[in-house]
A and B are shown apart, each in its own frame.
Chain A
Amino acid sequence: MRQAKLLKNIRLGIKTLLLHKLRSFLTMMGVVFGVGSVVAMLAVGEGASKEALEEIRKLGSTNIIINSVKPIEDDSGSQRSPFSVVMFGLLYEDERRAQETFDAIERTVPVKIVRKEGRLGERKLDLRIMGTTADWFDLVRRRLIAGRSLTPRDGRKRAGVTVLTEYGARRLLATERTIGQSLRIGGEYYEVVGIVQSESGQEGSIQTPDKKVDAYIPVEVARERYGDFRTEISAGSLLREAVELHQLIVQVDAIENVETVANGLERMLEGYHKRNDYVISVPLALLRQAEATKRTFNIVLGSIAGISLLVGGIGIMNIMLASVTERTREIGIRRAIGAKRRQIIGQFLIETVVLSTAGGLIGVTIGLLIPWLITQLAGMPTVVTPYSIVLAVGISMTVGIVFGLYPARHAANLDPIEALRHE
């Protein structure tokens, strides 16, 4: 019964609003754009931050990643002779020291990178050799397609084994027997023991991004067979550099200890490295930072949304006040017949809520359309979360109530006699 009455009132409200179609439509626009921009901006923001957060989470929140970097001063040094060797980066010692110094370190995973050509019969492929340990596969979690990944035994036994990526396997191996093939990499022989799916990381990612030309071998083997020196001819000059480890992934036992260990590592490395030839990245800190950025972004969005909805609300209020003035006589008639104040309030409030909710729904549609277009045309990821839609519709209804209340009360408080006399 009450519901039927409410429905009837809503129908009457819509009917009244439809008497002035253009006016009602224009009044709605403020809310339409307010809500539309909120939903669209939230979708774009969510899409951008989700990608970033996922990238960081993939690195593991209990991990600390240390990368070797070439110190800048060595690059531009004029005193450098053509035959000198640039030595920089993480040392094998660093890994051992880290393990001995910090109880909170669960394990460390070294990465040593060497570029060599892989050959099998006629087939050739320039490979990036990743010298690492069995733990690497645990931390990075790549899907194994065939065979096995590296084991601690491979390292201990200095076994000449390698794990290829799917791409590398397809390019180098014969189709019949994939696992167990013998592969020549830079003049050394390896047995292919496994194939993993290669998941190519984003450019600029902290952890050494995967490449499809990666080949994994035990770090001990990489050190023994290829050494630390690298010679390269670049821009006509001979470049000789020596790097022991290119990356060290440190896994800490608990999230609470990540910061302490990271600070400790920083101090420890400072003590042993004269130059700034390493960079410590803490995914957890990055995660926190990304989350903080997202929060800030949301606050800014919220403010923009708030302002645009405020403007929309004021627009509604303005028109409703004009409508009340215009319909003063009608209000007087209704009151004389016996309408109570709250029934007059209800009548006008329903009109504003209908107006703002309709605006909200159109706004949501626009807010869904814009991110879709952005994704289609610009290829940017966008995520429309259900909560943003609920929020938007809720806010638009609230705007209707808040900004409709004053005009409605104004209407209800008109003196019936005065209202009847109104021209």
Chain B
Amino acid sequence: MISATNMLTSTAVSAESSRQVVAVLEAVTKVYQMGEAQVRALAGVTVAFERGGFYAIMGASGSGKSTMLNLLGCLDRPTSGRYLLEGQDVAVLDDNALSEFRLRHLGFIFQSFNLIPQLTVSENIELPLYYLDWDANESAARVEEMAARVGLADRLEHRPAELSGGEQQRVAIARALASDPSILLADEPTGNLDSATSKQIMALLSELNEQGKTVLMVTHEPDLAAYASRRLHMQDGLIDRIEETSA
């Protein structure tokens, strides 16, 4: 999938540092056409995300946080600019290849959990493996491993509706981890949870980050953003400033 010729050699990032950079946005804009009016959700964003980093994306409502995360998650293509993911220019890929990228490299965690209600916990966790065509035994083992990883090994046959919000979000995290992606994308993952549960989820994300996952998380709450090593502040479709904490 990632050929040597496509490896990132742009002026923005040197070949040496490409091993540490997992995703790069270069002058990325996203414009929505609303009838006559145009909405510039992203107004030319340039930013590089390092492998293994924990990024919090903050900013006022409507500043373009979700838009950027969706682009980073290959759910959408930029109106202009380049997006290099694992060295591959994603903006030129077709829908099939984008799906393949999401499947292998990206894991999503949503505010509203987004589990499929008619499937059991284990079937939900298994979904990426199903699309990856894993063999039944291997994927069953993997599902158990992931469920144990988020502390839900005893809930495999439950339906999502039978779980608490925090548990549901842990199932969603297990699902996002199943295909062993390099990047976890989380859009307000604790937006629907109380503060105690939020802390548990944040602790889990930190742990995963320590184990090497790149985490990109949109949040409004400075408390939660404090878990991240870098905070991107957005305003009017641009990254206003990047704040680093060497915790």
Query: B96 contacts A334, CB within 8 Å?
Result: no
Query: A416 contacts B127, CB within 8 Å?
Result: no
Query: Which partner residue on chain B sits nearest A339 by CB separation?
Result: B131
Does A338 count as interface, using CB distance less than 8 angstroms? Answer: yes
- A5/B127 contact (C-beta < 8 A), A340-B99, A417-B76, A420-B110 known: no
The docked-state distance in angstroms from the alpha carbon of A336 to that of B101 is 10
Chain B 113-131, CB-CB to A under 8 Å as 1, else 0, gives 0111010000000011001
Does B40 count as interface, using CB distance less than 8 angstroms? Answer: no
Does A19 count as interface, using CB distance less than 8 angstroms? Answer: yes
- A338/B128 contact (C-beta < 8 A), A5-B133, A417-B70, A420-B110 known: yes
The docked-state distance in angstroms from the alpha carbon of A243 to that of B179 is 98
Which chain B residues in 31-85 approach chain A with CB under 8 Å? 70, 73, 75-76
Does B103 count as interface, using CB distance less than 8 angstroms? Answer: yes
Does B233 count as interface, using CB distance less than 8 angstroms? Answer: no
B88 to chain A, nearest CB (A): 15
Query: A19 contacts B118, CB within 8 Å?
Result: yes
Q: Using Cβ atoms and an 8 Å threshold, which residues of chain B touch A19?
A: 118
The docked-state distance in angstroms from the alpha carbon of A420 to that of B175 is 16
The docked-state distance in angstroms from the alpha carbon of A416 to that of B95 is 11
Query: A338 contacts B116, CB within 8 Å?
Result: no
Does B100 count as interface, using CB distance less than 8 angstroms? Answer: yes
Query: Which partner residue on chain A sits nearest B105 by CB separation?
Result: A338
Query: Which partner residue on chain B sits nearest A331 by CB separation?
Result: B116
Does B199 count as interface, using CB distance less than 8 angstroms? Answer: no
Q: Using Cβ atoms and an 8 Å threshold, which residues of chain A touch B106?
A: 338
Does A184 count as interface, using CB distance less than 8 angstroms? Answer: no
Q: Using Cβ atoms and an 8 Å threshold, which residues of chain B touch A336?
A: 73, 75, 102, 108, 114
Query: A337 contacts B128, CB within 8 Å?
Result: yes
Interface residue SS majority, chain A: helix
A5 to chain B, nearest CB (A): 7
Query: Which partner residue on chain A sits nearest B108 by CB separation?
Result: A336
Does B149 count as interface, using CB distance less than 8 angstroms? Answer: no
Select A337's contact among B70, B118, B175, beta carbons within 8 Å: B175
Chain A 318-335, CB-CB to B under 8 Å as 1, else 0, gives 000000000001101111
Does A341 count as interface, using CB distance less than 8 angstroms? Answer: yes
Does A343 count as interface, using CB distance less than 8 angstroms? Answer: yes
Q: Using Cβ atoms and an 8 Å threshold, which residues of chain A touch B116?
A: 330, 333-334
Query: B76 contacts A337, CB within 8 Å?
Result: no
Does A16 count as interface, using CB distance less than 8 angstroms? Answer: yes
Does B142 count as interface, using CB distance less than 8 angstroms? Answer: no
Query: B114 contacts A333, CB within 8 Å?
Result: yes
A329 to chain B, nearest CB (A): 7
Select B75's contact among A330, A341, A417, beta carbons within 8 Å: A417
The docked-state distance in angstroms from the alpha carbon of A415 to that of B219 is 24
Interface centre among A333, A335, A338, A340 (most CB of B within 10 A): A338
Query: Which partner residue on chain B sits nearest A2 by CB separation?
Result: B133
The docked-state distance in angstroms from the alpha carbon of A334 to that of B96 is 13
Which chain A residues in 1-55 approach chain B with CB under 8 Å? 5, 16, 19
- A339/B99 contact (C-beta < 8 A), A417-B70, A417-B76 known: yes
Query: A338 contacts B103, CB within 8 Å?
Result: yes
A423 to chain B, nearest CB (A): 10
Query: Which partner residue on chain B sits nearest A15 by CB separation?
Result: B118
B99 to chain A, nearest CB (A): 5
Query: Which partner residue on chain B sits nearest A16 by CB separation?
Result: B118
Does B220 count as interface, using CB distance less than 8 angstroms? Answer: no
Q: Using Cβ atoms and an 8 Å threshold, which residues of chain A touch B100?
A: 338, 340
The docked-state distance in angstroms from the alpha carbon of A332 to that of B179 is 18
Query: Which partner residue on chain B sits nearest A334 by CB separation?
Result: B127
Does B155 count as interface, using CB distance less than 8 angstroms? Answer: no
Query: A338 contacts B96, CB within 8 Å?
Result: no
Query: A338 contacts B102, CB within 8 Å?
Result: yes
Q: Using Cβ atoms and an 8 Å threshold, which residues of chain A touch B108?
A: 336-337
Q: Using Cβ atoms and an 8 Å threshold, which residues of chain B touch A416?
A: 75
A345 to chain B, nearest CB (A): 12
Query: B110 contacts A338, CB within 8 Å?
Result: no
A298 to chain B, nearest CB (A): 44
Chain A 335-371, CB-CB to B under 8 Å as 1, else 0, gives 1111111010000000000000000000000000000
Q: Using Cβ atoms and an 8 Å threshold, which residues of chain B touch A341?
A: 95-96, 99
Query: Which partner residue on chain A sits nearest B176 by CB separation?
Result: A337
A366 to chain B, nearest CB (A): 31
The docked-state distance in angstroms from the alpha carbon of A219 to that of B129 is 90
The docked-state distance in angstroms from the alpha carbon of A338 to that of B114 is 14
Query: Which partner residue on chain B sits nearest A19 by CB separation?
Result: B118
Query: Which partner residue on chain A sits nearest B113 by CB separation?
Result: A333
The docked-state distance in angstroms from the alpha carbon of A5 to that of B133 is 8
Q: Using Cβ atoms and an 8 Å threshold, which residues of chain A touch B175?
A: 337
Query: B114 contacts A329, CB within 8 Å?
Result: yes
Query: Which partner residue on chain B sits nearest A344 by CB separation?
Result: B99
- A340/B104 contact (C-beta < 8 A), A333-B116, A417-B76 known: no
| 21 A-B pairs in the complex with CB atoms less than 8 angstroms apart | A332-B114, A333-B114, A333-B127, A334-B127, A335-B99, A336-B108, A337-B102, A337-B103, A337-B127, A337-B128, A337-B131, A338-B102, A338-B103, A338-B104, A338-B128, A339-B99, A340-B99, A340-B100, A417-B75, A417-B76, A420-B114
Given A333-B116, A337-B131, A337-B175, 11 new contacts (CB under 8 A): A332-B114, A333-B114, A333-B115, A334-B127, A334-B131, A337-B128, A338-B103, A339-B103, A340-B95, A417-B75, A420-B110
Interface positions of A (Cβ within 8 A of B): 5, 16, 19, 329-330, 332-341, 343, 416-417, 420
